[in-house]
Amino acid sequence: MKLFSFKAKKIRGYIYSSLKDDKRFSGVKEGSIIQNIDNTPPWIVVDHLLENVLITQWPGKLFEVEIINLSKEKYLNKGLVKDVSYTRTLGVQIIRELSVDNLFGLNGNSISQIIDVTRNISQEEVTYLSNYNIDEAREIYSQAWKKWIRLTGESSPYLEEDHFDTLEILNQNQKNSSPINHGLSIIASHINLRAKEVLGENAVTIDEDGEVNLNSLWAEACERLLHAGMSFESNDLLSPTEKEILLLPWRKVFGK
């Protein structure tokens, strides 16, 4: 599909929306039309691939949509780099609502559960999670990344790096940016949001180099949640035993 071939009559894609993001998508159903009648931002952004859909607020809804009147909206997409993975528009028609689990691969339901917990995690649960030793899990997490990178080619510049804290890697040879798409980044961003809700200004510290760091206890809990997320990858990167090691703190604290 050529993105800027405006002779094409129909372009379909995906939109994720929470009520906090855009109330225009509240209560929509199959066939509903959402139209930006003012011809001013915020534009409606349609991602071409499920793997590229970004989530800023959780929970939310995922829709497959069709762009309408694209030929009259050339100006909205001027200046976008070649092969960009989205289209800006003034209006879409809802084709159907999809489960948000589709955003994270074959085990998306389990990853959605982790995000649900992360977004509402308590200080007590954070403390329990941080109590578990994860030295072995750290190495498994890093090796999972290296195995995934090899799927893109042995020449990757990231192959020899440690990946204890990697969330995403952008690679031209793959559609997705991690073994669970944007799932790891979403877990990390939402535990940051939750820490700020619970701890306020004490959620982060600034070191002598001006680097902002998440509260150490919450950072440790985040790492254990990332390990749980990685355990649900669907590329056969991990053995059953390795997955259980990654899942141990998650299972012990939340019984899932």
Structure tokens at 141: 């997490």
Average pLDDT (98-115) is 96
Find the range with the poorest average confidence among 94-98, 247-251, 252-256.
252-256
- What is the model's pLDDT at position 156? 79
Mean pLDDT of 104-112: 96
Give the model's pLDDT for residue 71. Answer: 61
pLDDT mean across residues, the chain: 89
pLDDT recorded at residue 77: 74
Run of H or E residues at 14 = strand 12-17
Question: Tell me, what's the pLDDT at 4?
Answer: 46
pLDDT digits (tens, 9 = 90+) for 145-166: 999 998 876 677 888 889 999 9
- Separation of alpha carbons 98 and 101, rounded Å: 8
Tell me the pLDDT band of 6, cut-offs 50, 70 and 90: very low
Question: Is the pLDDT assigned to residue 168 strictly greater than 50?
Answer: yes
Q: Give the DSSP letter string of 81-104.
A: PTT-SEEEESEEEEEEEE-GGGGG
| Cα distance between residue 157 and residue 1, in whole Å | 30
| 251 pLDDT higher than 60 | yes
Residue 188's pLDDT is 97
Kindly state the average pLDDT of the residues 86-105. Answer: 94
Token pair recorded at residue 203: 């959620």
Output the six-digit token pair for 123: 């200080």
Helix or strand run (H / E) with residue 193: helix 183-199
For β-strands 212-214 and 61-67, DSSP reports them as unpaired
51-83 tens-digit pLDDT: 889 888 899 999 999 998 766 676 677 666 666
Q: Does the model's pTM come out above 0.85?
A: yes
Query: What does the CA dihedral 84, 189, 237, 244 come to, rounded to 10 degrees?
Result: -160
Q: Given this model, what pLDDT does residue 56 score?
A: 85
Rounded to whole angstroms, how far apart are CA atoms 46 and 206? 37
> Which of 108, 135, 164 is CA-nearest to residue 249?
135
8 Å CB contact between 116 and 59: yes
CB-CB neighbours of 115 under 10 Å: 23
